[in-house]
Structure 1
Amino acid sequence: MAARWLRVARLLRRGLAALASRLTSGVHSAWRRSLQLRVVTITLVASSLLVGGFAYLIADKISGILLENAETDVRSRLTNGSEYASKQFNLYSRAEEAQLQDTIDGTVTYLAGGDPTQTSGVVVAITGDNTIGSIAPRSSPEVEVGPLIGAELRSSVAAGNVAHQIRTGVLGGQRTKYLVYGSPVPTRFGQLELYYLVPLARQDATAADARATVVATGVALVILLSLLAALVTRLVVTPVRVAARTAQRLSAGLLDQRMAVNGEDDLALLAASFNQMATNLQRQILRLEEMSRLQRRFTSDVSHELRTPLTTVRMAADLIFSERDGFDPAVARSAELLQAELDRFEELLTDLLEISRFDAGFAVLDAEPTDLVPVVHRVTERLAGLAERVGVTIDLVLPDTPVIAEVDPRRVERVLRNLVGNAVEHGEGRPVRITLGMDESAVAVTVRDHGVGLKPGEEKLVFNRFWRADPSRARQTGGTGLGLSISVEDARLHGGWLEAWGAPGQGAQFRLTLPARAGDRLTTSPLRLVPADAPVPFGGPRHGGLMAIGPVEDVGRAEVIS
């Protein structure tokens, strides 16, 4: 049973901790997202501190004024009472005279207001020889005068001084705060002491009412200031929110979105300027889109139109090339060069047509379950002759089991052909390694060479059209400069990534990652992008240059081992 209650308590603590975490996260998120909340909260805290300090000062000042008035009144009464008592007592020369006590009682009753039955108000006491001589009102035995007249006060008055203090006593069964004033009364038979005990209940009640009024006024003022801050902030924030939503719609391609312009103030000027900016952007974007459309159409039309003369030239070139053995050596060499350049020209036209289809959005993915192991073998077999000519060996690291994925085999083979061809061309005679891997959600192929590598910043340019790391370098493969650009588009069409790593003198590695099932979203890759054998420069990162082509959120998930 104890273990069961322990588990329940542990689960309860976990639930409370999770709830507190969610609340804290929600408050923090609301604080970061809402400008209006921040302004209202800051206004509320600042006004609360200001009004609270002001209310304290006002209440303290009111209490001080009430106490000062009470002290002024009791001092005046004490002065008059001392003079009256002195005149009454100077009629006697000895303390033992029979009428003295009656005179003291009458004097006390007179100084207390003349009503011996009062149970509230000023209490008057006359003492002598450190004893209480007479107290008024005599009908109020519940007033404990002795504790109210402290020893320090009595000693000060006995020394001939007028002194006072604030003490707390019992009046009518309730503890009440008293202002106690004492004054000596000189007589012919010695010195007596006259004390006025003024209850401060009325002053305390008045001060409490004043404090309550000030606090209520302060709370109302703080609430009013908060509402005013919320209203003003809303007036300012609402147009900003409208501008943000309009900007989001504009960024989503809804170029006809505009803000409403109301009035002629600063916010109206902001809305008008925003609308003018949106109009200019719309005009510029439409112009660029039209230029891009014309450019794509021009490229497509030129490529198609060149097909016919190219076919005629190809037929004539094939005839000349087949008869080259009967020509002079110089003419025969010219026929070979013509044949090679026609092959390259035909590849260029094919690539241009493919690029134009991507630009026009007409490219279609023909995905089917495909084993990528034979695809890798076909690519290496096609490039084996080139690798042998440049002295490069191709090493394959392939799984023993089939690697099945829903891909377009023609496009994947084209991507791998471009990657492996570039690695062989730039491999500087060193081995090229092709690695194939997979997990439950993705398949990946890496192509690693040990050539010149990529300089910092070049990994951002390697996928650009017609870009070459060394413009003076002679091509061995007769490439068109569009291979990696087409490969990037093929990877994107699959919903995959094409990423590059490189370091000067350390070679480069390209990684193609594709979802195992068509339409799935990639979150990680089964193969690392940075090679395990990449050296770590002293004082620098190991990953060198890195460029990921794919969705922006996916680039951040690329596995980079530093």
Structure 2
Amino acid sequence: MPTRRAVTGRAAALLAAARRAMLRGLSLAHRVAAPVVRAFRSSLQLRVVTATLIVSGVLVVVFGMVVATTITSGAVEAKLGTAKAQVSDGRDAVARELDTVVSYDDPTLTNKLSGLAAALSGDQGRSQRPTVLIRTSETDPVAESRPGKPAAVSRDLPKQLRGDVSDGFMSFQYTTIDPDGHGERAFLAIGTPVYTEQLSYELYFLFPLDDEEAIANLVRNALVVAGIALVLMLGVIAGLVTRMVVIPVRLAARTAQRLSAGLLHERMSAKGSDDLARLGGSFNLMAENLHQQIVRLEDMSRLQRRFTSDVSHELRTPLTTVRMAADLLYDTKEDFPPPAARSAELLHDELNRFEELLSDLLEISRFDAGFAVLDTEAVELAPIIDTVVESRAGLAQRCGVEVRCHFPGEPVIAEVDPRRVQRILRNLIDNAIEHAEHQPVCVRLAASSTVVSIAVIDHGVGLKPGEEKLVFNRFWRADPSRARQTGGTGLGLSISQEDARLHNGSLEAMGEPGAGTVFRLSLPLRAGDRVLISPLPLDFSADPCRGEDDES
């Protein structure tokens, strides 16, 4: 006898097998249904045809049920009316013929009842001839209109019908009986009491409903065939109509995709003068206008880039001459009166700013023209950061800001363009020092197996909601009235973002008003790769300086 543990293990195995079978069934059903679902979602024509078939099918079913019910009910009602009249005539005939019988023991009663039953059954065809039963109120049936077993037929009569007749009422009921041993059939059973001066009898007519059933079956079959044909025809019509509409829509979608891919000369075929042809003509007109606008904008952009580049280059020569004179004045400013010396300092500073602006404009024009290229090499990033921080020490001292660096224990080596990375860091650190409000600025370096990130974090004025995207716009300033220490051009962060994109990296910002700003530079460790996930979060949790401040 198996132990309880063995029974439990067998039940668990059966349950696991059932679960696996159910999962396989669900997986198979999903694989079978998935293509159908995809086709249904992607095809407007299929959805319209399916909806048409479902709606028309429901309407045909409802209409068929109503028609079949109406026709069948009409035929049965006509049959019932004729049958009631026949039963009433038969009742009167039985009453007249049996009026002379004074006792149920009359030896002639059986023959009279048999003759009456045969006469009342009539001479219709065998399928339409009613079965007539005449019984006394005290005995089983004593007469039937056709050969058979009257007692068995009498027992098959509905009890409710027999009770109504016994109570003296004429009543009818639909039933199924087997009067001739050839199987049960539908009958309309009508019973009525028959009274003479001496005795009482019960008269039953069983009218076959074979013709009515045949009519109902014929109507039902005709409606099914006609309904299926109608639904299929409506589906074909819906498919043809939707095809006439969907094909131009598909052509429009295909043409729009080609236009979006840069094939600006693509057009739709617009023939005729119907709504779809007008749609095609309007689409082509829109495409032509867009083409002209794009060409005009491209020409304007090209002219603008060329103008910026030409102006920047042309200004280089006079700027060099002015720079030489300004440097001479700046070097001998101690020999000038104080106002002249101050003017020489201002001239020197503004020339530096002007030269920086020209350099930024030239760099922007290279990005716009698509001429910017990378000069990558494998370098360690920590020394680059230290170099940039040391070069901004004077600015940090003037602003009263401490710049802290946090590097991982292992050297981080990446294939980057050192010049561009230095420019990005210089712009980010300058921006952080400018807005730090005398709070420490943290520069953190972290790396994963594929990506290196540098976060520059300050706890100064911060950014308002939405400004984290605007900071990379050209010439955008968060607060134009703010006194600046760096004299920037307003292009630094925009150029920095272009440099990051040139590396297949990203430069992002986030900030909160009064809490500070976080800039995160993410670059791939290997040239040509892309940044998927940064090892540093874009929030203030990336700042280890707060922990240092708390400990101090």
Distance 2:171 2:114 in 1: 23
Change (3 A) 1:492 1:44: same
Distance 1:382 1:300 in 2: 29
Give the 5 Å matches for 1:52-67.
52-67=61-76
2:164 aligned residue: 156
Q: Deviations over 1:149-200 (max 9, x none)?
A: 2333233324443221112212434222221112233334312222111122
Change (3 A) 1:10 1:154: closer
Question: Is the contact made by 1:148 and 1:180 (CA closer than 8 Å) also made in structure 2?
Answer: no
Change (3 A) 1:146 1:522: farther
1:495 aligned residue: 504
What is the one-letter code of the residue matched to 1:419? L
2:149 aligned residue: 141
Question: Is the contact made by 2:127 and 2:208 (CA closer than 8 Å) also made in structure 1?
Answer: no
Q: Deviations over 1:236-274 (max 9, x none)?
A: 233223222222222222211211112211121111111
Match 1:279 to one of 284, 288, 295:
288
Give the 5 Å matches for 1:112-131.
112-113=121-122, 121-131=129-139
Distance 1:130 1:180 in 2: 20
Q: Which runs of 5+ in 1 are unaligned?
A: 535-562
Post-superposition offset of 1:462? 1.0
Change (3 A) 1:302 1:94: same
Distance 1:174 1:473 in 2: 106
2:488 aligned residue: 479
Post-superposition offset of 1:143? 8.8
Of the structure 1 ranges 11-20 and 494-503, higher mean CA displacement relative to structure 2 is found in 11-20
1:197 is the counterpart of 2:206: yes
Match 2:526 to one of 517, 525, 550:
517
1:406 aligned residue: 415
1:238 aligned residue: 247
Of the structure 1 ranges 21-30 and 379-388, higher mean CA displacement relative to structure 2 is found in 21-30
Distance 1:515 1:147 in 2: 97
1:293 is the counterpart of 2:299: no
Question: Is the contact made by 2:95 and 2:195 (CA closer than 8 Å) also made in structure 1?
Answer: yes
Distance 1:533 1:402 in 2: 19
Distance 1:406 1:12 in 2: 53
Match 2:218 to one of 209, 212, 233:
209
Distance 1:471 1:10 in 2: 68
Post-superposition offset of 1:505? 1.2
Distance 2:13 2:112 in 1: 85
Post-superposition offset of 1:91? 4.2
Distance 1:29 1:420 in 2: 52
Question: Is the contact made by 2:140 and 2:151 (CA closer than 8 Å) also made in structure 1?
Answer: no
What is the one-letter code of the residue matched to 2:149? P
Distance 2:452 2:229 in 1: 66
Post-superposition offset of 1:483? 0.6
1:167 is the counterpart of 2:175: yes
Question: Is the contact made by 1:119 and 1:137 (CA closer than 8 Å) also made in structure 2?
Answer: no
1:427 is the counterpart of 2:433: no
Give the 5 Å matches for 1:257-336.
257-336=266-345
Q: Could you state the TM-score of these two structures normalised by the residue count of structure 1?
A: 0.88
SS in 1 for 2:140: strand
1:547 aligned residue: none
Q: Deviations over 1:330-379 (max 9, x none)?
A: 32332222222222211111111111010001111233333222221121
2:367 aligned residue: 358
Match 1:338 to one of 337, 347, 351:
347
Post-superposition offset of 1:119? 8.4
Question: Is the contact made by 1:59 and 1:210 (CA closer than 8 Å) also made in structure 2?
Answer: yes
Match 1:437 to one of 446, 449, 456:
446
Question: Is the contact made by 2:388 and 2:425 (CA closer than 8 Å) also made in structure 1?
Answer: yes
Q: Deviations over 1:16-48 (max 9, x none)?
A: 344455666666655554433433333333222
Question: Is the contact made by 1:142 and 1:173 (CA closer than 8 Å) also made in structure 2?
Answer: no
Distance 2:145 2:68 in 1: 33
2:258 aligned residue: 249
Of the structure 1 ranges 216-225 and 475-484, higher mean CA displacement relative to structure 2 is found in 216-225
What is the one-letter code of the residue matched to 2:70? K
What is the one-letter code of the residue matched to 1:126? I
What is the one-letter code of the residue matched to 2:428? L
Distance 1:493 1:339 in 2: 33
1:463 aligned residue: 472
RMSD, matched Cα: 2.6
What is the one-letter code of the residue matched to 1:522? V
Question: Is the contact made by 1:92 and 1:188 (CA closer than 8 Å) also made in structure 2?
Answer: no
Question: Is the contact made by 2:134 and 2:144 (CA closer than 8 Å) also made in structure 1?
Answer: no
SS in 2 for 1:14: helix
Question: Is the contact made by 1:39 and 1:229 (CA closer than 8 Å) also made in structure 2?
Answer: yes
2:24 aligned residue: 15
What is the one-letter code of the residue matched to 1:414? R
SS in 2 for 1:416: helix
Change (3 A) 1:43 1:438: same
What is the one-letter code of the residue matched to 1:288? L
Distance 1:383 1:462 in 2: 21
What is the one-letter code of the residue matched to 2:45? Q
Question: Is the contact made by 2:128 and 2:207 (CA closer than 8 Å) also made in structure 1?
Answer: no
1:543 aligned residue: none
What is the one-letter code of the residue matched to 1:15? R
How many percent identity over aligned positions?
52
Change (3 A) 1:167 1:12: closer
What is the one-letter code of the residue matched to 2:274? D
What is the one-letter code of the residue matched to 2:221? A
Change (3 A) 1:11 1:292: same
Change (3 A) 1:24 1:436: farther
SS in 1 for 2:541: coil
Post-superposition offset of 1:329? 3.0
Counting matched residue pairs gives 533
